[in-house]
A and B are shown apart, each in its own frame.
Chain A
Amino acid sequence: MKISILALFLLSGLAVFAGATKFDFKDPKNINNIIFQMDAPLESINGSGDEITGTVHFDPNAPSATKGTILLNSASLHVGNPVLKEHIHGPDWMNVKKHPTITFKLSKLENIRKKGLDFFADAKGKMTIRNVTIEMNIPIRLTYLKGLLEKRNRVPGDLLVIRSKFVIKRDDFGIRAGEKLEKVANEIEISLNVAGAAPTN
Chain B
Amino acid sequence: MILFLRALGIISALSALAGLSLGIIIWNQHGARHGFWETSVQTTREIPIIEGMPELGFQQQVVWEDKLVFGIETLISGIIIFIVFMSICIVSFLISSKLSKKIVE
A residues adjacent to B (C-beta < 8 A): 31, 33, 35, 42-48, 50, 78-84, 117-118, 143, 145, 148, 151-152, 159, 161, 163, 191, 193, 195
Q: Is B35 an interface residue (CB 8 A)?
A: yes
Whether A161 contacts B57 by the Cβ 8 Å rule is yes
CB atoms of A31 and B47 under 8 A apart: yes
Q: How far is the CA of A144 from the CA of B61 in the complex (A)?
A: 19
Could you tell me if B35 and A81 are in contact, using CB atoms closer than 8 angstroms?
yes
Chain A residues with CB below 8 A from B57, complex form: 117-118, 143, 161
Q: Is B56's CB under 8 angstroms from A33's CB?
A: no
Give the interface segment out of B2-10, B37-45, B78-86: B37-45
Smallest CB separation, B20 vs chain A (Å): 22
- Interface bracket on B: 20 to 34
Q: A143-B57, A193-B59 are in contact. List 19 more A-B contacts (CB 8 A).
A: A33-B60, A33-B62, A35-B60, A45-B35, A50-B62, A78-B64, A79-B38, A80-B69, A81-B35, A82-B39, A145-B49, A145-B50, A151-B50, A151-B51, A151-B53, A152-B51, A159-B50, A195-B49, A195-B59
Residue of A44, A78, A195 near B35 (CB, 8 A) is: A44
* Residues on B with beta carbons closer than 8 Å to the beta carbon of A33: 60-62
Q: Known: A117-B56, A151-B51. Contact between A81 and B37, CB under 8 A?
A: yes
A44 and B34 contacting across the interface, CB-CB below 8 Å = yes
In the complex, how many angstroms separate the beta carbon of B71 from the nearest chain A beta carbon? 8
Please give the distance in Å from B40's CB to the nearest CB on chain A: 5
Give the A-binding residues of B (Cβ under 8 A): 33-42, 44, 47, 49-53, 56-57, 59-62, 64, 69, 71
CA distance A122 to B71 in the complex (A): 39
- 8 A-B pairs with the lowest CB-CB distances in the bound complex, closest first: A80-B38, A48-B62, A193-B60, A151-B50, A31-B61, A33-B62, A43-B35, A81-B38
A-side contacts of B42, CB under 8 Å? 46-48, 80
Take A48-B42, A83-B36, A143-B56 as given contacts and tell me if A152 and B62 are in contact as well, using a CB distance cutoff of 8 Å. Answer: no
Q: Is the CB of A152 within 8 A of B41?
A: no
